[in-house]
Structure formats: structure tokens, C-alpha cells
A and B are shown apart, each in its own frame.
Chain A
Amino acid sequence: QQQVKQSPQSLIVQKGGISIINCAYENTAFDYFPWYQQFPGKGPALLIAIRPDVSEKKEGRFTISFNKSAKQFSLHIMDSQPGDSATYFCAATISGGSYIPTFGRGTSLIVHP
């Protein structure tokens, strides 16, 4: 059973456009939602994370929007650049447990110049 569903699987945008990646979860016990960015041949790295007590978190061109009632959260990349081309993973974690994140299946983003 996939606990965190991520879409789309792949995304192509033009330079300067907005990239949007969506994730949905079922387990209401999740209370920490990180996003990881992975470049080809490299390991993932934490990009940005949010807790459900806020609806939005912004860091530079990257914004997480969180909808607790819908159990959905999304990553928005504003003014997308070719250097943003990577695979993005959303994840969810439960406090009080082992804190091991449950990952979505990833979105491959290509930004055309």
C-alpha cells in the first residue's frame, strides 16, 4: 500500500515557468513533510520541509503548500531554471516513532532552456 502518492511521475516545463508537484497521504498521524531533490547519479538532498501547523512555507523560489483537511501538499518551483532539472521526492514522517520517512515515488522534472 502506497502511503504517499506523488504526481506527476514526470514533468516538463519551459524556463521561467512554474513547476508544480503534488503529494497526497492517508495516514493522519504524519506530521512532518520534507521534500528531497536528487540530481542524476547523486543522492537526494533535503530541499524544504513543512509541518502541518502552517499552510505554506517559502524558501527562495521553492514553496510548499499544505492542505491538512485534504491531506495534500505540493511543491511549487517559481521561475523554473534548467538547473532545477532533477528528481523530486516528497516524504512524510510520524513523530514519536522511528522518524523514518515514507517517500513518494518521485517526479522527474525537466526544465527546457
Chain B
Amino acid sequence: DGGITQSPKYLFRKEGQNVTLSCEQNLNHDAMYWYRQDPGQGLRLIYYSQIVNDFQKGDIAEGYSVSREKKESFPLTVTSAQKNPTAFYLCASSLAGDRPVEQFFGPGTRLTVL
């Protein structure tokens, strides 16, 4: 059963802590993405990766870091430098190529800073 999994579903963080959100896909997609969703703000791109061991900053990368050591995995670390990390985080993947393709989204992780 192919798809994207994100864990945990809910995450609570104390101020000053780094936390890592997991994203795994078994769709054999080359490209993976992290978005942040806030009410009324739509989906804002944090980081994306189109190939293993390579990734690019999106529109709101400050305070976040990623790695892409495996094709299937694209974890996101929310660092203590992120001033307002409480949000819903979505991971997505897609085929890479020379034409627009559908993005497949995971179920999301809701991060709350206490």
C-alpha cells in the first residue's frame, strides 16, 4: 500500500528544544517537500529535495533544517532558532521530470510549543 507517512501525528516541544519530524514515502518518488500550514496562510514551502543528498531552501527555511540521505526519507528538524514553530507541518512527494506533476501529501504533524 503506497503512500507517505509522517510521524508523530502530534508533537509538543518546549521552548529552546530542537525536534525532528519524520517523513517516509514508498512511492519511489524522487522529489520531496516540506510545507508549513497556518490558518489563513495556505501552504508555505520550507525545503525541497529533488534528488538524494541535495536540497534547496524554500520561502521560509529560517529556523529549519533537513537531510536527504535516502530516497525514501526526508526528515525536518525544527530548531530553537524558529521563533514561532507552532503549526501543522506537511510533507509531500512527487515524481521529478520535465513537466508539472501531482504532489502527494502525508497526513501531517501538528507541532505545539509549550
Contacts and interface: CB of A to CB of B under 8 A. Distances in A.
The answer to whether A and B belong to the same complex is yes
Interface string B96-109: 01111111111110
Nearest to B43: A103
| Main SS class of interface, A | loop
B90 interface: yes
A31 B98 CA distance: 13
A25 B4 CA distance: 30
Given A89-B43, A105-B40, A45 B50 contact: no
A42 B108 contact: yes
Interface in B1-59: 4, 33, 40-43, 45, 48, 50, 56, 58
A41 interface: yes
Contact of B105 (A32, A44, A100): A44
A75 to B, nearest CB: 15
A103 B98 CA distance: 20
Nearest to B44: A103
B66 interface: no
Interface residues of B, number: 26
Interface stretch (A14-22, A53-61, A66-74, A90-98): A90-98
A107 B40 CA distance: 8
B76 interface: no
Nearest to A42: B107
B48 A100 contact: yes
B92 interface: yes
Contacts of B4: 43
- Sorted nearest first, the 8 A-B pairs with minimum C-beta distance are A43-B105, A32-B100, A105-B42, A93-B100, A103-B43, A46-B102, A103-B42, A99-B100
Given A43-B108, A100-B33, A103-B42, 17 more contacts: A31-B100, A42-B107, A43-B4, A43-B105, A43-B106, A44-B105, A46-B102, A46-B103, A96-B98, A98-B50, A99-B94, A99-B97, A100-B48, A100-B58, A105-B40, A105-B42, A106-B42
Interface of A: 6, 9, 31-32, 34, 36, 41-46, 49, 89, 93, 95-96, 98-101, 103-106
